[in-house]
Amino acid sequence: MSLADGVILVLGLALTVAAWAAFAGRGAGQTAVVTAGGEVVARLPLDRPARLAVPGPLGETVVEVRDGAVRFLSSPCTRQICIHSGWLREGGAFAACLPNRVSVRVTALDERYDSINF
Amino acid sequence: MTASISESLVGASARDRQIASLAALAVVVHLAESVLPSPIPGIKPGLANAVVLYALLRHGWEVAAWVGLLRVLVGSLLLGSFLSPGFFLSLGGALASLAMLALVARLPGVTALGLGVAAALAHTAGQFTVAYLWFIPHPGLFALLPAFLTAALVFGAAGGLVVNRLCGRG
């Protein structure tokens, strides 16, 4: 291995590491947008654990962010459909508690398309 | 005897025959590789590029360019992928890696190891450029880039080491 080889290897390695740092995990959801009664009440980054109590007509709905995903933790509604939606992590994922008028939507970096099929 | 006959019939020079035999070798490696399963579609060892490296070191860039481009053309004709998206991705990668080789081969003291790594990374970059500009103009495409670059780094170095061994620079 010559000096020139070494330089190329180091540059190539740096490029690859930079690509991992810049692009790995991209395309996953970035932010959870929480709305109540049609108004945006919070934008929660998914990489930071958080718990948010959102007031609605029935009482408080609690939204939890953990491990890059968001979910409804508790809600005063009767059917608990929002709770059963489970964790949302992909860009565009959506869940709502209609009785309490609270919804959560995960926004990705780029949302020009609703879906892509190959 | 046969050489002189073929020369007089089709005007093939010694250099033409070198190109033809190396290109044939590259095509065979390309075909053999195309039936190997891959964990991620599109990631291949790229051993045919080792033949291009060998051509570059032994016969110069021009022969390497012939071998690389003939490999893409003939390989796609035999696999039935001529003018398909895969063909254009392959062509984009080959053109980018040949351009990179033209630059990097000027570095003093560079061996097949460095050439292989630079060519493989350029190949991946060329493929992604074609894929992004033409087929999938979506930033999500670049989520694949780290894995592809890592594979290029590893396989480019491996191919380069093989060629170094072949050229007696172990």
ipTM of the shown complex? 0.84
Model's pTM, two decimal places?
A: 0.70
Residue B137 pLDDT: 79
* Least Cα separation, residue B156 to chain A (angstroms): 10
Contact across the interface for B113 and A5, Cβ inside 8 Å: yes
Domain of residue A93, CATH code: 2.60.320.10
Q: Which domain holds residue A82?
A: 31-107
Residue-range domain boundaries for chain B: 2-166
Distance CA A24, CA B16 (A): 45
Which option is the CATH number for B2-166: 3.40.50.10420, 1.10.1760.20, 1.20.144.10, 1.10.3720.10?
1.10.1760.20
With respect to residue A63, please indicate whether it lies within any of the assigned structural domains: yes
A109 and chain B: CB distance < 8 Å anywhere? Answer: yes
DSSP state of B124: H
pLDDT digits (tens, 9 = 90+) for B88-143: 999 999 999 999 999 999 999 999 999 999 999 999 999 999 999 998 877 778 88
The Cα of A99 is separated from the nearest Cα of chain B by a number of Å equal to 35
Q: What is the mean pLDDT of each run of 10 residues along chain A (118 residues)?
A: 92 93 65 91 88 93 92 93 91 89 82 57
Of the candidates B128, B49, B126, B119, the residue with the CA atom closest to the CA atom of residue A12: B119
Pairing of strands A60-66, A50-55: antiparallel
d(CA A116, CA A110): 13
Q: What is the pLDDT of residue B36?
A: 86
- Residue A8 and residue B117: Cβ atoms within 8 Å? yes
Q: What is the mean pLDDT of chain A?
A: 86
Contact B138 A9 (CB under 8 A): no
Chain A residue numbers with beta carbons less than 8 Å from the beta carbon of B110 are 2, 4-5, 8
Q: Are the beta carbons of A8 and B114 separated by less than 8 Å?
A: yes
Instruction: State the pLDDT at residue B149.
Output: 95
* Count of domains observed in chain A: 1
Amino acid sitting at position B77:
L
pLDDT of residue B8: 58
